[in-house]
Structure 1
Amino acid sequence: MNHGKQAFLGPEGILEKKREYLIPCVYHFYSKPMQLVRGEMQYLYDHTGKKYLDCVAGISVINCGHCHPQITRAICDQVNTLQHTTTIYLTQNIVNLAERLASITPGRLKKSFFCASGTEANEGAALLASIFTGRHEFISLRQGLHGRTKLTMSLTGLSMWRTDTSPVGGISFAPNAYCYRCPLHKSYPECDLACANEIETVIKTSSSGQVAAMFAEPIQGNGGIITPPPGYFKRLKEILESYGILLIVDEVQTGFGRTGKMFGIEHYDVEPDIMTVAKALANGTPVGAFMTRDEIAAAYTRPGASTLGGNPVTAAASLATLDVITNSNLPARAAESGSYLKQGLASLQQKYSLLGDVRGLGLMLGAELVRPDNSPAAQELDNIMENMKDRGFLIGKTGPDRNVLTFLPPLVINREDMDSLLNNLEDVLKSGY
């Protein structure tokens, strides 16, 4: 019996078991995938010892870096003390975390409900909005992604993720602020934020007038790093308020320093009525939460619980993560590093027409790849991703046509890392991918 280090199956062994035992919807990147076995800050290592610069961060989760020693220590200490009791008993970490979140969230957001994922957080936010308003319809944006359950999948405006053959009704979709390919065929700023104005048309024509809330991401991550222009959310909020509709801001990908501010909506100077978070809050430990102001929270009084939500380990990990984000000033670091990386990508855009658009805020960046006729260059992107992986760089892909290269590295990435990333990306572009 092997009591030493775990024997690695290797990519082929994992793929064999994956085909045998996992539901086939669980997909993976790369035609020649690797087996990842270790992480250290902004780097990952495969079973052969090969090192990779991680520019995905577990899809905007590992903001503080892989296996950050301060966070790891907090998790281990808590696991060895009290791992789980659930919310029907009093524990301290959950209330300390709620208090901590109240001190950093925008505006009057104060009261939290903890769960185990962003999907659950969005489900809970929708429920809370219905309880408070007495209404049951919702508005979402095209190209938004809000989860994997029946309701949150129905709120999702990306066809590849809407795999439910019988989606929930009462959900209307509005055009998103996709300036590069404007759904209304206009140009900013001459458009006068026509996409935001269209929300009113949707309310008047696609709903019964009983809309509880609208869901929106500050930046649409899976939608292709779609970054609304200045003033967009202010206009949107004005329209919603005139109809008594709540604004639910989905910060699952954008939260906790990713965009150069603690929360993405802070770039737009708008206060959400309800905000959802997950992913980076616990730097890899499963977590989710929705939060709101006092008067909305007061409507939710019937018994509610989440078996694993806010458990002592998750809450300890979250508190340690917030300490690292704050003490290391990671939002400011993301703003500075993101500006440098975006400038580098913009320079490549000037040289290579394949890069049709470069967009995003902080270290949430995307480069949309297009062919000479401006059609999506999805196959070219796959070739570039594979080539970059072989060179030791892991980059993501998003967008409805899967043609947006995405850069979501841990916020601890340094200048040397970014120079190496940009130089290698240019080599690949120069080689014809």
Structure 2
Amino acid sequence: MNAKAYIGPAAILEKKKKYIMPCLAHFYKDPQEFVKGSMQYLWDSNGKKYLDCYAGVSVMNCGHANPDIVGPATEQAKTLQHVCNIYLTENFVNLAERLAAVTPGTLQKSFFCSTGSEATEGALLLAEVARSNSEIIALRQGLHGRTKLGMSVTGLTMWRTAPTPVGGIHFAPNPYCYRCPLGKKPDTCDLACANAVEDLIKTATSGHPGAYIAETIQGNAGIVVPPKGYFQRVKEILDQYGTLLIIDEVQTGFARTGKMFGIEHYGVTPDIMCMAKALGNGFPISAFIAKPEIADTYTRPGASTLGGNPVSSTAGLAVLDYIETHDLAARAESLGKTLRAGLRRLQETHPVIGDVRGLGLMDGAEFIHADGSPAPELLDDVLEEMKDRGYIIGKNGVVRNVMAFQPPLVITEENLTQVLDELDCVLTAKKL
């Protein structure tokens, strides 16, 4: 790889400062320029190889530059790249048929767009149309997109850019067992966070809000995994008040958690479900899918210029083929257990790790100080060192103190052993 072929990080940062809006930040004090990817690996402009443990935030589930996905999409681009979905093409209806087959319960009819933000926005619109009510219940510390409404239902301060959020939105306590917002303990709480949804409906809404929206696992909140029974209790409450359950699977979908969709761990079928990211494995495509009786209320004209275009739809079909052929869900379940077990072993000897949690290959290790308070500065230092050693790991959490593992699902057990061993070395050297 010829390093001289690339302008390098310094030049990129200079152009970024001049031509890109300052809202877009970047990881690392000393960032690199990525120029190549192959399955679970990345390379920078100097030819250095990295193990990717973040997958572009749960996007590259099938691996970087996977020929089984890039190949069909490339061939499609050579024949018919785009005509807009107001014209008839085959791939997007075939993909919709496949999604109806792999999504839980009676979810059947899809609307395709390009980003997760569009998908959640469309799902909330559909709920309002179906219920004739625009009130929304969301969760504290949730994240649902960059659009005006998506930001308004986002419960993380750092992402709520709009100075005047949309009204009619009410926030329920999130099921964050490690730092319970209600001060409860998991073994005695009787799902108080779920019961709070009913209190919210009774006291802060019209009594029949249109929708409740939640991520199956709150990714940006710090890999917050709801306890068993949480969504069952919530669904019982919502059904009592005629409120639709919207599940955001933008990060958790497509085998990430050990099942095709994260909500399957909870035995609940949402009324509407959003998906994006891994559906295209790097190609821009998203969708929201609904039960027929809800979807069929959406009759006024609606289209998405690039939604479900032939190339992205081809990629989506290839993704589903690859997930099923290689049983990535079972792979994620097995490797996720290995990863969490390794992180818990590190937790025993490194008190900086306060909690380990996750499902499948969506796992977090929360960094804390000796008094239990969040330690984002310690995490940043560790992530920088891990990057220098050739490992790309994410971070999230309300104050960005949770180390996030969301790797390509093609990662190997040997890879996980390597990253855990290196992490142990770094934590030991830093006396954490």
- TM bucket (normalised to shorter chain) is over 0.9
> SS of 1:94's equivalent?
helix
Q: Work out whether residues 344 and 356 of structure 2, in 8 Å CA contact, stay in contact via their aligned partners in 1.
A: yes
Note the 1:26-105 alignment, pairs <5 A. Answer: 26-105=24-103
Once residues 47 and 260 of structure 1 are traced to their aligned partners in structure 2, the CA distance between those partners, rounded to angstroms, is: 34
The answer for the alignment partner of 2:377 in structure 1 is: 379
Find the partner of 1:327 among 310, 315, 325.
325
Once residues 4 and 375 of structure 2 are traced to their aligned partners in structure 1, the CA distance between those partners, rounded to angstroms, is: 40
The answer for the alignment partner of 2:159 in structure 1 is: 161
Once residues 208 and 150 of structure 1 are traced to their aligned partners in structure 2, the CA distance between those partners, rounded to angstroms, is: 23
Task: Describe the superposition over 1:45-83 as per-residue Cα deviations: whole angstroms up to 9, x where unpaired.
Answer: 001110000011010000000000110101110000100
Cα drift, residue 211 of structure 1: 0.8
> SS of 2:274's equivalent?
strand
Once residues 171 and 324 of structure 1 are traced to their aligned partners in structure 2, the CA distance between those partners, rounded to angstroms, is: 39
Q: Work out whether residues 356 and 363 of structure 2, in 8 Å CA contact, stay in contact via their aligned partners in 1.
A: yes
1:281 maps onto 2:265 in alignment: no
Q: Work out whether residues 115 and 287 of structure 1, in 8 Å CA contact, stay in contact via their aligned partners in 2.
A: yes
Once residues 205 and 354 of structure 1 are traced to their aligned partners in structure 2, the CA distance between those partners, rounded to angstroms, is: 40
Find the partner of 1:400 among 398, 413, 422.
398
> SS of 1:80's equivalent?
helix
Once residues 101 and 165 of structure 1 are traced to their aligned partners in structure 2, the CA distance between those partners, rounded to angstroms, is: 37
The answer for the alignment partner of 2:303 in structure 1 is: 305
The answer for the alignment partner of 2:263 in structure 1 is: 265
Cα drift, residue 5 of structure 1: 10
1:219 maps onto 2:188 in alignment: no
Cα drift, residue 352 of structure 1: 0.9
Segment of structure 1 superposing worse, 199-208 or 163-172? 199-208
Q: Work out whether residues 136 and 210 of structure 1, in 8 Å CA contact, stay in contact via their aligned partners in 2.
A: no
Find the partner of 2:108 among 88, 107, 110.
110
Amino acid at match of 2:389: R
Find the partner of 1:421 among 419, 422, 428.
419
> SS of 1:425's equivalent?
helix
Cα drift, residue 138 of structure 1: 0.1
Once residues 255 and 323 of structure 1 are traced to their aligned partners in structure 2, the CA distance between those partners, rounded to angstroms, is: 15
The answer for the alignment partner of 2:181 in structure 1 is: 183
Q: Work out whether residues 227 and 359 of structure 1, in 8 Å CA contact, stay in contact via their aligned partners in 2.
A: yes
Once residues 298 and 13 of structure 1 are traced to their aligned partners in structure 2, the CA distance between those partners, rounded to angstroms, is: 51
The answer for the alignment partner of 1:388 in structure 2 is: 386
In the superposition, the TM-score normalised over structure 1's length comes to 0.98
Task: Describe the superposition over 1:116-175 as per-residue Cα deviations: whole angstroms up to 9, x where unpaired.
Answer: 001000010011001000111000000100000100000000000001101000000000
Once residues 95 and 105 of structure 2 are traced to their aligned partners in structure 1, the CA distance between those partners, rounded to angstroms, is: 18
> SS of 1:211's equivalent?
coil
Once residues 208 and 268 of structure 2 are traced to their aligned partners in structure 1, the CA distance between those partners, rounded to angstroms, is: 23
Runs of 4+ in 1 over 6 A off after TM superposition: none
The answer for the alignment partner of 1:342 in structure 2 is: 340
Cα drift, residue 30 of structure 1: 0.2
Once residues 370 and 88 of structure 1 are traced to their aligned partners in structure 2, the CA distance between those partners, rounded to angstroms, is: 52
Cα drift, residue 208 of structure 1: 2.4
Q: Work out whether residues 146 and 153 of structure 1, in 8 Å CA contact, stay in contact via their aligned partners in 2.
A: yes
Once residues 8 and 250 of structure 2 are traced to their aligned partners in structure 1, the CA distance between those partners, rounded to angstroms, is: 32
Once residues 77 and 103 of structure 2 are traced to their aligned partners in structure 1, the CA distance between those partners, rounded to angstroms, is: 28
The answer for the alignment partner of 2:314 in structure 1 is: 316
Once residues 337 and 203 of structure 2 are traced to their aligned partners in structure 1, the CA distance between those partners, rounded to angstroms, is: 41
Find the partner of 2:367 among 357, 366, 369.
369
Once residues 234 and 189 of structure 1 are traced to their aligned partners in structure 2, the CA distance between those partners, rounded to angstroms, is: 17
Sequence identity, in percent?
A: 60
Once residues 249 and 27 of structure 1 are traced to their aligned partners in structure 2, the CA distance between those partners, rounded to angstroms, is: 28
Q: Work out whether residues 285 and 314 of structure 1, in 8 Å CA contact, stay in contact via their aligned partners in 2.
A: yes
Q: Work out whether residues 224 and 357 of structure 2, in 8 Å CA contact, stay in contact via their aligned partners in 1.
A: yes
Task: Describe the superposition over 1:153-212 as per-residue Cα deviations: whole angstroms up to 9, x where unpaired.
Answer: 000000000011010000000001000001111111211000000001111112222410
The answer for the alignment partner of 1:247 in structure 2 is: 245
The answer for the alignment partner of 1:228 in structure 2 is: 226
Once residues 159 and 399 of structure 1 are traced to their aligned partners in structure 2, the CA distance between those partners, rounded to angstroms, is: 11
Once residues 187 and 355 of structure 2 are traced to their aligned partners in structure 1, the CA distance between those partners, rounded to angstroms, is: 17
Q: Work out whether residues 176 and 183 of structure 1, in 8 Å CA contact, stay in contact via their aligned partners in 2.
A: yes
Q: Work out whether residues 358 and 364 of structure 2, in 8 Å CA contact, stay in contact via their aligned partners in 1.
A: yes
Amino acid at match of 1:198: A
> SS of 1:64's equivalent?
coil
Once residues 99 and 413 of structure 1 are traced to their aligned partners in structure 2, the CA distance between those partners, rounded to angstroms, is: 29
Once residues 56 and 394 of structure 2 are traced to their aligned partners in structure 1, the CA distance between those partners, rounded to angstroms, is: 10
Amino acid at match of 2:429: S
Once residues 20 and 107 of structure 1 are traced to their aligned partners in structure 2, the CA distance between those partners, rounded to angstroms, is: 49
Task: Describe the superposition over 1:208-264 as per-residue Cα deviations: whole angstroms up to 9, x where unpaired.
Answer: 224100001110000100001100000000001000000000000000000000000
> SS of 1:99's equivalent?
helix
Q: Work out whether residues 248 and 275 of structure 2, in 8 Å CA contact, stay in contact via their aligned partners in 1.
A: yes
Once residues 285 and 5 of structure 1 are traced to their aligned partners in structure 2, the CA distance between those partners, rounded to angstroms, is: 27
Once residues 254 and 317 of structure 2 are traced to their aligned partners in structure 1, the CA distance between those partners, rounded to angstroms, is: 12
Once residues 320 and 223 of structure 1 are traced to their aligned partners in structure 2, the CA distance between those partners, rounded to angstroms, is: 31
Q: Work out whether residues 3 and 46 of structure 2, in 8 Å CA contact, stay in contact via their aligned partners in 1.
A: no
Amino acid at match of 1:250: D
Amino acid at match of 1:136: S
Amino acid at match of 1:315: S
Cα drift, residue 6 of structure 1: 8.3
